Structure 1
Amino acid sequence: MTESNPITTPMSSRRTALVGGLMVAAGPLSISLYGPALPTIVAELGTNEAMGKLSLSVYFAAFALTQLVCGPLSDSFGRRKVAIGFLLFYVLGSLVAAFGPSVEFLLAGRILQGIGVSVGVALSRAMVRDQFVGREAIGILTLINLILTVAPAVAPTIGSVILAFGSWHLMFIVMGLYGAFLMALIGFASRETHPVVARVPLRPVGIVANYWRLLSSMRFMGPAGVLGLSFGGFYGFAALLPFILIDDIGLTPFQFAMTMLIQTGSFITGNLLAGYAARRLDGDMMVRIGLILLLLAGVGFAAGLRLFPTAILAVMAPVSLWMLALAFIGPSTTAAAMAGFGPIAGAAGALTGFFQVGGGFVGSLLASLLFPDARSALVTLIPIMAGLAVMIALVNRVRTRVREAAIPET
């Protein structure tokens, strides 16, 4: 029997997953598609590696912060209108980055792109929460999560193929075309999942109150913190890998793209294993398995390149473990964070997305400011993020047990 939200079920679970997944894909595609060309972009624009990483940091910042706006807007005006409106910014930003003559135009274009793709993570989750709860919601979020993480793994391969036929500017044109496709998809192939009767007035005080309600709830903050650090680490090393594998180890852009298929295969394998396990284990046990894998990945990042400085496997083995971990952590923590916040699902989806992408912003920014090169950042910063994710999960578990013990039995 389908377990669904009693307010409205205008789309099937399959269509919801497809539309949501394609919306979500725009964000990670825009991170990794131009990864193979980053060294070339840095050289052609006459800038340095730090500015190349900054083009990722400003994108993460716009991506993360704008979710805090688009989520409440969709709670008030509906999901479809807000999604189409924000995607216009994405298309515009893609064109600015493609045709701008300097690194300043590239940074401006990336900011506009980040603003535009913010609707993907926030509104796809809200669309699921509008219609489904329980196991069915976790199943749909698992499919969306698969696209969210496979997309940046496949994107470097696509980017290297594009480079074979043209310059890096063509990559941003492709991004703009994808944004236009999403606008058409949302306009003609999806339906509004947030009916007028369920909408809330757009009041700044109300928005602040909704976010404060979420931020002050450990039911939200515990899983959201784990989600943010685990995916933040993923986005962080996605930004660093091109410089390490191409500049340091010496791979060609095509070899880099082929190497990144290891990441894709690991996550697909992880989702198959997680899907099998989810039928037998509860969400808490799924997260525990994921955290063990995450901790092992952090140890691998810390030790691998220090012991074997030129070995590709020293990089990709911990990457594989991290991708396996995400398959177990992502859907369960997302569903747990949003459970019980149906009337403000847009805000809850936006804030989970803020933590998730904001972790990438913090990671890439710290990598640019605190470390002399990408290698130093990878072996230090990413293990710290893994350790913090495990620590937050342990603290949240202890708090939950204490709270449950304090409730008298009836």
Structure 2
Amino acid sequence: MSDADTAARPTIMTERRTTVIGALLTAIGPVSMAVYTPAMPELVRAFGTTESAIKLSLSLYFGGFALAQLLAGPVSDAYGRKKASIAFLMIYVLGSLICAMAIDVNWILAGRLIQGIGASVGVTVARAAVRDQFVGGQAARIMNMIGIILAIGPALGPTIGGLALSAFGWQSIFLLLIAFGAIALLTCIFALKETAIPDRSRLQPVTLVKTYAGLITDLRFLFPSLILGGSIGALYAQGTMLPFVLIDVVGLSPTQFGLGMLAQTGSYLTGSITLRMISGRISGPAAVAIGIGFCGTGGFLMLLSVHLLDPNFLSIMVPVGICTFGIAFLTPHVVTSGLAAFPKVAGSASALMGFIQMGGGFVGGLVAATFANPLTSFGTIIPIMEFTAVAAYLANRFISRRQ
């Protein structure tokens, strides 16, 4: 691949502005999950409904988020990053308003679905805007900093949501999300500059199908996406298993579980900060090799601990922490390298990459649901996903050397 092929456009926004706006957009998805979670039991009581109905609101949000990415990406290629962000963030605010004014659980379900659709633009545009302007180590550095900032929001989300719920009731949760969406919307209106060259033809159905077909069959894109689908997908999938493992099997209280999950967030934050500190001394490929080594090691230890040790907090969370540390190391360069060869369809490529990583988590969660024992599902599905990421990494190295 020549330098001309991977060259970015002239910088339109500074590295700092791109990082801050990218982090804000990327945070919309996980923060909307983290702030909402503490309100779930209260919503069951407030609407006189069932736990399964409220859990469905999570699935609808997740499904809307994942599928709408496939539209948000091409829209940002066709109409520009700025217009796409403004349009989808308005949808997000509308969904939050519907939830805040809900009179029964059906309005909550509809609002959460609409929220997910609106939030889908965040990570898609954030990654595409970085690709529009930066390549190589500079792009990876921005993605790393976005990861550092991103680790803070979801960590504080449950605490903020819990305090608002106790003080002001369940509506305050959605008022917080309205405010967050409004801040992101105003930021895009006044601070986000257009980084793409819009091409309306990207939204034509035939062109859209050809674009996605071309991406998914291009090994330069497929293998990096599978690395993320296995590693970050495992992070999503284990989120559906850890509450049952740590509360029902290990015996933690819900409060202890919430505090215990800081070990996962802390591992990601530590990995991101460590990578930033040593990034001047190691290359991007070396960082990915280190990260995938941690993911594979954590998956192997997880497999052994679940099947050979009596379950306890450390036997579960130490392997989780090792894997999460590795994810922080590999993500910035894997995202950068996976998008590098597709500057004209960066939005679509970013969307499909996000869909694959979220799809990995969704499939992993579905398969885990077929196991009768949550501990067995955790110790089987998550290691398999980590090993899938390792296999994709090895295949990607082989293809890169051939090219």
Q: TM-score, normalised by structure 2?
A: 0.88
Cα 1:158/1:311, change in 2 over 3 Å = farther
Q: Does 1:318 align with 2:319?
A: yes
Are the equivalent residues in 2 in contact too, given 1:21–1:148 (CA < 8 A)? yes
1:388-403 correspondence to structure 2 within 5 Å: 388-401=388-401, 403=402
The ranges of structure 1 where at least 4 consecutive aligned residues each deviate by more than 6 angstroms after the TM superposition are none
Cα 1:348/1:287, change in 2 over 3 Å = same
Are the equivalent residues in 2 in contact too, given 1:157–1:260 (CA < 8 A)? no
For 1:175 and 1:375, the matched residues in 2 are separated by 34
Q: CA deviation at 1:200?
A: 5.1
1:322-361 correspondence to structure 2 within 5 Å: 322-361=323-362
For 2:154 and 2:131, the matched residues in 1 are separated by 25
Are the equivalent residues in 1 in contact too, given 2:202–2:208 (CA < 8 A)? no
Q: Tell me the residue number matched to 2:371.
A: 371
For 1:242 and 1:263, the matched residues in 2 are separated by 13
Q: CA deviation at 1:101?
A: 4.8
1:122-137 correspondence to structure 2 within 5 Å: 122-137=124-139
Cα 1:102/1:282, change in 2 over 3 Å = same
For 1:109 and 1:373, the matched residues in 2 are separated by 33
1:6-405 correspondence to structure 2 within 5 Å: 7-39=9-41, 41=43, 45-48=48-51, 53-195=55-197, 202-246=203-247, 249-304=250-305, 311-368=312-369, 370-372=370-372, 374-401=374-401, 403-404=402-403
For 1:243 and 1:163, the matched residues in 2 are separated by 24
Bigger shift: 290-299 or 165-174? 165-174
SS in 2 for 1:193: coil
Cα 1:372/1:40, change in 2 over 3 Å = farther
Are the equivalent residues in 1 in contact too, given 2:268–2:324 (CA < 8 A)? yes
For 1:43 and 1:363, the matched residues in 2 are separated by 30
Letter in 1 for 2:188: I
Q: CA deviation at 1:344?
A: 0.9
Are the equivalent residues in 2 in contact too, given 1:305–1:311 (CA < 8 A)? no
For 2:140 and 2:296, the matched residues in 1 are separated by 24
Cα 1:292/1:124, change in 2 over 3 Å = same
Q: CA deviation at 1:257?
A: 3.2
Cα 1:54/1:297, change in 2 over 3 Å = farther
For 2:152 and 2:103, the matched residues in 1 are separated by 32
Letter in 1 for 2:36: Y
Render the CA deviation track for 1:359-408: whole Å, top value 9, x for unaligned. Answer: 2322333344x23465444233222211211122223333444x34xxxx
Q: CA deviation at 1:243?
A: 4.2
List runs of 5+ in structure 2 lacking aligned partners: none
For 2:41 and 2:310, the matched residues in 1 are separated by 20
Cα 1:96/1:371, change in 2 over 3 Å = farther
Cα 1:360/1:91, change in 2 over 3 Å = farther
Cα 1:201/1:400, change in 2 over 3 Å = closer
For 2:105 and 2:327, the matched residues in 1 are separated by 33
For 2:257 and 2:225, the matched residues in 1 are separated by 32
SS in 2 for 1:33: helix
Are the equivalent residues in 2 in contact too, given 1:72–1:202 (CA < 8 A)? yes
For 2:41 and 2:71, the matched residues in 1 are separated by 33
Cα 1:353/1:6, change in 2 over 3 Å = closer
Are the equivalent residues in 1 in contact too, given 2:306–2:376 (CA < 8 A)? no
Bigger shift: 15-24 or 256-265? 256-265
Are the equivalent residues in 2 in contact too, given 1:60–1:358 (CA < 8 A)? no
Letter in 1 for 2:371: F
Cα 1:382/1:173, change in 2 over 3 Å = farther
Are the equivalent residues in 1 in contact too, given 2:230–2:387 (CA < 8 A)? no
Q: CA deviation at 1:307?
A: 5.5
Q: Tell me the residue number matched to 1:407.
A: none
For 2:100 and 2:363, the matched residues in 1 are separated by 26
Cα 1:265/1:386, change in 2 over 3 Å = same
Are the equivalent residues in 1 in contact too, given 2:136–2:337 (CA < 8 A)? no
For 1:322 and 1:43, the matched residues in 2 are separated by 37
Count of aligned positions: 398
Q: CA deviation at 1:76?
A: 1.3
Are the equivalent residues in 2 in contact too, given 1:130–1:193 (CA < 8 A)? yes
> Equivalent pairs: percent with the same residue?
42
Cα 1:143/1:9, change in 2 over 3 Å = same
List runs of 5+ in structure 1 lacking aligned partners: 405-410
Q: CA RMSD in A?
A: 2.7
